[in-house]
């Protein structure tokens, strides 16, 4: 497909999509000045045509605080450390950098320490990963975890796998750090390490902390080091949906893939969490739709899936699309910041709108109380 044809098709699609002028909404959409206009497909509420209540509109105001350029800059910041492969100095420096950003937004951070035995070795080595928490005001003992893995491989910059998910989680953390935003329930931002070696960082988290859930420590303090898990939302490879066979540009039917695992102990609850994300996408995402399917695999939500509702968000279904060559940059030296166009970044950004939109409802996020 030529560039000209793709542009015409895109223009035709935008032209044919009927704009639904809902009262009070036009001005709100116009305020989204951080989105470069040439990238906008203006699909908000057209796919879903969801009427919005006053609370929905307040949630939209929160989602609108996500900033496209900030998201891109966070991906760029992560790529300065190359592929961040576990066990390297680049990986350790990236963890420090992520922690510095989270602290800069006012969060206290913590690290999970665990041992990992590299392949071909018999000597366990220490590894670390960092998380931060927005503490709930009315239910600090209940928590949603949103995660992405900060390690990568392939010798490039691991920009998409998984700088794109890591930056998404960090951008949501940045927005929720604002002094006028409160959340009823706690929200944890987890940047896993050692995903590429077999989900070792997320597994260590589950092993160390599952039994700590909901325990007040010290008693009477109102502090919960591990609030009870209400759900886990993972983000892993967010930007590239160019069809298969692969085309040069984001496909016209590009979407955010929400996956849960049918063969898990919490399949029904995970499907419900997935639907909450689909509905949030219909209401709050600006340019790309989301779809739900049931074969979540090979990502850090897997160690959680028998214990709490668990889903992953991706650019493609992991087994049927990614696993069949839908992303030629996966684990390659070409997984570089400069490989991806603004339309690619916009797909990742829409996944961020989807997750934050869902969290506003699930966790009870509000502005200025």
Stretch that binds Zn ion, among 71-79, 157-165, 168-176, 339-347 (CB under 5 A): 157-165
Residues 89-108 that bind Zn ion (CB under 5 A): none
Mask for 212-251, x = binds Zn ion (CB under 5 A): ------------------------x---------------
Which one, 149 or 242, has the nearer CB to Zn ion? 149
Which one, 186 or 316, has the nearer CB to Zn ion? 316
Query: Are 356 and 146 within 8 A, CB to CB?
Result: no
Mask for 35-74, x = binds Zn ion (CB under 5 A): ----------------------------------------
Mask for 163-202, x = binds Zn ion (CB under 5 A): ----------------------------------------
Tally the residues of the chain.
369
The residue count for binding Zn ion (CB under 5 A) is 3
Residues 108-137 that bind Zn ion (CB under 5 A): none
CA–CA distance, 334 with 332 (Å, rounded to integer): 5
> Nearest distance from residue 151's CB to Zn ion, in Å?
9
Which one, 286 or 301, has the nearer CB to Zn ion? 301
> Nearest distance from residue 311's CB to Zn ion, in Å?
15
> Nearest distance from residue 236's CB to Zn ion, in Å?
4
> Nearest distance from residue 195's CB to Zn ion, in Å?
6
> Nearest distance from residue 149's CB to Zn ion, in Å?
6
Mask for 342-361, x = binds Zn ion (CB under 5 A): --------------------
Which one, 43 or 233, has the nearer CB to Zn ion? 233
> Nearest distance from residue 301's CB to Zn ion, in Å?
12
> Nearest distance from residue 237's CB to Zn ion, in Å?
5
Stretch that binds Zn ion, among 81-89, 162-170, 180-188, 273-281 (CB under 5 A): 162-170
Which one, 242 or 314, has the nearer CB to Zn ion? 314
Which one, 34 or 332, has the nearer CB to Zn ion? 332
How many CB atoms sit inside 10 A of residue 222's CB?
9
> Nearest distance from residue 298's CB to Zn ion, in Å?
8
Which one, 162 or 335, has the nearer CB to Zn ion? 162
Which one, 166 or 270, has the nearer CB to Zn ion? 166
139-149/125-134 β-pairing: unpaired
Among 30, 100, 39, 103, CA closest to 68: 39
- Is residue 161 involved in binding Zn ion (CB under 5 A)? yes
Query: Are 73 and 164 within 8 A, CB to CB?
Result: no
Residues 6+ apart with CB under 8 A from 343: 39, 249, 250
Which one, 99 or 236, has the nearer CB to Zn ion? 236
Q: Which residues bind Zn ion (CB under 5 A)?
A: 161-162, 236
């Amino acid at each position: 497909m030529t560039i000209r044809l793709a542009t015409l098709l895109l223009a035709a699609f935008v032209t044919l999509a009927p704009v639904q002028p809902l009262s009070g909404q036009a001005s709100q959409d116009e305020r989204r000045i951080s989105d470069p206009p040439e990238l906008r497909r203006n699909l908000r509420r057209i796919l879903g045509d969801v009427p919005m209540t006053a609370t929905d509109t307040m949630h939209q105001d929160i989602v609108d605080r996500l900033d496209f350029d900030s998201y891109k800059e966070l991906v760029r910041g992560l790529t300065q450390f190359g592929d961040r492969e576990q066990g390297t100095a680049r990986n350790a420096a990236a963890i420090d950098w992520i922690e510095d950003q989270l602290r800069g937004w006012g969060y206290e951070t913590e690290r999970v320490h665990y041992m990992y035995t590299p392949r071909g070795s018999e000597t366990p080595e220490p590894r670390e990963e960092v998380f931060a928490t927005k503490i709930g005001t009315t239910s600090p003992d209940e928590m949603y975890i949103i995660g992405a893995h900060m390690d990568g491989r392939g010798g490039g910059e691991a920009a998409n796998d998984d700088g794109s998910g890591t930056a998404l989680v960090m951008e949501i953390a940045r927005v929720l750090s604002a002094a006028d935003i409160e959340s009823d329930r706690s929200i944890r931002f987890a940047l896993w390490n050692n995903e590429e070696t077999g989900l070792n960082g997320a597994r260590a988290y589950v092993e160390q902390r599952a039994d700590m859930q909901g325990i007040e420590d010290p008693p009477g303090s109102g502090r919960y080091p591990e609030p009870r898990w209400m759900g886990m939302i993972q983000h892993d490879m967010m930007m590239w949906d160019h069809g298969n066979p692969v085309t040069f540009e984001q496909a016209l039917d590009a979407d955010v893939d929400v996956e849960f695992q049918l063969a898990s102990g919490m399949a029904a609850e995970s499907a419900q969490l997935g639907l909450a994300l689909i509905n949030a996408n219909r209401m709050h995402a600006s340019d790309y739709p989301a779809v739900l399917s049931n074969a979540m695999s090979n990502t850090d939500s897997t160690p959680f899936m028998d214990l709490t509702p668990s889903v992953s968000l991706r650019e493609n279904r992991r087994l049927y699309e990614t696993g069949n060559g839908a992303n030629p940059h996966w684990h390659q030296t070409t997984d570089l910041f400069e490989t991806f166009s603004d339309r690619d970044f916009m797909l990742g950004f829409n996944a961020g709108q989807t997750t934050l939109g869902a969290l506003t409802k699930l966790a009870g996020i509000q502005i200025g109380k």
